[in-house]
Amino acid sequence: MNLSIVLSVFNEEENLEQLYNELKEVLSHLDLSTEIICVNDGSFDNSLEVLKKIALKDDRVKVIDFVRNFGQTAAMSAGIKNATGEIIIPMDADLQNNPKDIPHFLEKINEGYVVVSGWRKERKDKAISRRLPSWLANKLISLITGVKIHDYGCSMKAYKKSVIQGINLYGEMHRFIPAYVAWNRGKITEIVVDHRPRIHGQTKYGISRTFRVILDLIVVKFLSSYMNRPIHFFGGIGIFAFLLGCLSFVVAVVLKLANIRSFVATPLPIFSALLIIVGVQLIVMGILSEMQMRTYYESQKKDPYSIKEKINF
């Protein structure tokens, strides 16, 4: 299989037939073997019935039905893991992604890139509830990850199978795949894609999603920088808190001996006790995290490193 299209479907019954027809038209002009993997993410409308109807008349269409709604990242992860194509292109099923952009993604993959990210430069969404939070999230993600991409939230991307299938996705982490790949020295780029206004159905995203993305970003940054050395993260903060607590105690003692402030007239003793306790707890947490990290790698016989090439082995 050359190409796998992965669709995350949640209550999109009015859009599926048109999307399938558009995909069929585009794929018919490609000299590639293709499949369309549709993941029904617990839809409670007639999306599953529409997908079954399409799958009956076209064996390229494959359907995965979740027992309930697990979210877009889970749906995308299931589609990717079951894809057999050497190139994988996830898309939304709401018709806002245009299948006519697929050949442009394939051109960039053929140029040697392993990830091609879509950029909805002329985005057809509400400014306050959708575009503004997305803009802020993209700026924050680029700042923290160091990977400069305009539109992390665009679902339409193209991946080489070799770089995507080894990545486990949780939470809202599908949007961070380009950062994962860039950290492992993979070649990534982005192209401007056609973003169309939603015609049928309702959007599933809102401002609240931005906060979930920020929390997942913290996890991604921790995993990328401290996965193999958690004691440096927790222990570093713990030592800082412990030393600050000791300094507060010394200042409190000096003020007492100089008859400037008694212990009961200043909050410094309380700060000292609190900071010292927090510091010790963080150091212990770092030690426990080190034990968990070793259990994670050794129980699965994984290595805490990745080899790019071997010579004369």
DSSP symbols for 126-161: -IIIIIHHHHHHHHHHHHHH----S-TT---EEEEH
Identify which of 221, 220, 239 has the alpha carbon closest to the alpha carbon of residue 279: 239
CA 22 to each of CA 41, 119, 252: distance values in angstroms, whole numbers, following the listed order: 22, 20, 73
C-alpha–C-alpha distance, residues 186 and 86, integer Å: 16
Give the number of other CB atoms < 10 A from CB of residue 267. Answer: 11
Tell me what pLDDT residue 201 has: 61
Which residues, listed in sequence order, are joined to residue 158 by a DSSP beta bridge? 116
Tell me what pLDDT residue 128 has: 64
* Burial class of residue 305 in the structure, from the number of CB atoms within 10 Å of its CB (0-12 exposed, 13-18 middle, 19+ buried): exposed
Tell me what pLDDT residue 90 has: 93
Tell me what pLDDT residue 309 has: 65
C-alpha–C-alpha distance, residues 175 and 75, integer Å: 13
pLDDT averaged over 10-residue windows placed end to end, the chain, 313 residues: 91 92 94 93 90 93 91 88 93 90 94 91 69 76 80 88 79 77 81 83 61 76 81 92 94 89 86 94 93 85 68 71
| CATH code 3.90.550.10 for 3-226 | yes
The SS3 of residue 124 is coil
The model's pTM is 0.75
Tell me what pLDDT residue 205 has: 58
Who contacts 266 (Cβ-Cβ below 8 Å, separation ≥6)? Answer: 252, 255
Sequence ranges of the domains in the chain: 3-226, 230-299
Under a CB-based contact definition with an 8 Å cutoff, are residues 274 and 245 in contact?
Answer: yes
Strands 87-92 and 157-160: antiparallel
